[in-house]
């Protein structure tokens, strides 16, 4: 994801030329060839040529130039149908003209079984449309928290899944749950950036941020606030206008106490201060849990803890999500 997000779509690779797989014949401008194929693929799929994301396509082209014999597309960054697939097909077909065959695609979210079937069907019809038989059998790999139940589903008869990647469930079990964490770019060259995707849960929040916990007069947490690092911190006893996540309107909250949640431990790979002993970390975790009310700690349908954005951060999110140049 980070590799894809780093491209704005306007970059031209330093050397977009690629020699044929057989080693004979002139080098070809792969990026230009991809744009020609994109028009043909979009016309066939009924898409506007502007719909596939140019940043994703730029990353695919760079990947193909670096590894023309091992090109695999991750169809998980924007939209599988409207962006990932046409971008992948354009690059794969351009490589095919030079004698290279893509080694596959990978899916990492959504209904993996259904998506694999739909993609295989498109590969078959596209192969017939452009008379490229090798496209029919391109391997489809899937990943994303696959356990025993999902593994059995993906391996059933009629599945179009060829490769199944299992990571978390190899080293953990339900009795020892894992905490999944992913690094995402929030700025490029000092400019805030966010990941845009059809899945709202996978959209990132742009820019360097600070986090605060707003507490009531009894010390219980009201909500957590994320804001841009340059904003002044919330003040106890003062009204604060915030945007709860998922809400259509802002709300006003007046905290009795404010806690800063962000503490810098590692900078440029180096510890800023010694790590606390395990007993201290355990005590802090227990204290934090004890501050949550019983409705938030219950196992059945717990009350969700609210996280909100500052007005400035909310405005930045809306600006970056708006279509057109930023």
Mark which of 128, 145, 172 sits at the end of a domain. 172
Number of H helices, E strands in the chain: 10, 16
**Is there a single domain that holds both residue 165 and residue 187?**
no
Look at residue 278 and tell me if it is in a domain. Answer: no
**Is there a single domain that holds both residue 163 and residue 28?**
yes
User: Pick from 111, 103, 90, 95: which is nearest to 34 by CA?
Assistant: 90
Q: Consecutive sets of 10 residues in the chain, 326 residues long: mean pLDDT of each?
A: 41 80 92 97 96 93 96 88 95 97 93 93 97 96 87 89 86 71 86 83 90 93 96 96 93 96 91 94 92 87 93 95 71
**Residue 145's pLDDT is what?**
81
**Residue 261's pLDDT is what?**
95
Total domains in the fold of the chain: 2
**Is there a single domain that holds both residue 255 and residue 218?**
yes
**Is there a single domain that holds both residue 19 and residue 77?**
yes
Report the alpha-carbon distance of residue 265 to residue 46 in Å, rounded: 51
Mark which of 172, 207, 235 sits at the end of a domain. 172
**Is there a single domain that holds both residue 89 and residue 156?**
yes
**Is there a single domain that holds both residue 106 and residue 241?**
no
How many Cβ atoms are within 10 Å of 72's Cβ, its own excluded?
Answer: 20
**Residue 5's pLDDT is what?**
38
**Is there a single domain that holds both residue 17 and residue 139?**
yes
**What pTM was estimated for this model as a whole?**
0.63
Report the alpha-carbon distance of residue 231 to residue 228 in Å, rounded: 6
Domain residues for the domain of 147 are: 1-172
**Residue 323's pLDDT is what?**
74
**Residue 292's pLDDT is what?**
87
**Is there a single domain that holds both residue 26 and residue 110?**
yes
**Is there a single domain that holds both residue 166 and residue 249?**
no
């Amino acid at each position: 994801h980070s590799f894809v997000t780093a491209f704005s779509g306007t970059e031209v690779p330093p050397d977009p030329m690629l020699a044929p797989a057989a080693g004979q014949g002139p080098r070809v401008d792969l990026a230009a060839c991809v744009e020609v194929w994109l028009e043909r693929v979009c016309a066939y799929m009924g898409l506007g040529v502007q719909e596939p994301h140019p940043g994703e396509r730029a990353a695919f082209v760079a990947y193909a130039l670096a590894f023309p014999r091992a090109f695999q597309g991750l169809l998980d960054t924007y939209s599988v149908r409207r962006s990932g697939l046409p971008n992948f097909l354009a690059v794969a077909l351009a490589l095919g003209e030079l004698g290279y065959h893509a080694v596959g695609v990978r899916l990492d979210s959504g209904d993996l079984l259904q998506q694999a079937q739909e993609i295989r069907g498109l590969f078959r019809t596209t192969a017939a449309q452009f008379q490229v038989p090798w496209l029919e059998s391109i391997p489809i790999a899937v990943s994303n928290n696959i356990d025993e139940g999902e593994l059995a589903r993906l391996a059933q008869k009629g599945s179009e899944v060829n490769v199944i990647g299992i990571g978390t469930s190899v080293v953990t079990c339900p009795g020892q749950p894992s905490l999944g964490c992913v690094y995402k770019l929030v700025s490029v060259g000092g400019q805030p950036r966010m990941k845009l995707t059809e899945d709202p849960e996978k959209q990132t929040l742009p820019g360097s941020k600070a986090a605060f916990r707003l507490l009531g007069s009894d010390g219980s947490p009201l909500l957590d606030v994320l804001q841009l690092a340059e904003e002044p911190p919330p003040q106890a006893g003062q009204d604060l206008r915030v945007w709860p996540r998922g809400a259509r309107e802002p709300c006003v909250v007046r905290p009795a106490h404010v806690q800063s949640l962000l503490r810098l431990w590692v900078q440029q790979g180096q510890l800023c201060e010694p790590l606390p002993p395990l007993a201290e970390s355990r005590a802090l975790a227990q204290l934090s849990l004890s501050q949550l009310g019983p409705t938030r700690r219950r196992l059945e349908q717990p009350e969700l803890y609210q996280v909100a954005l500052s007005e400035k951060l909310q405005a930045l999110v809306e600006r970056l999500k708006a279509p057109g140049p930023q």
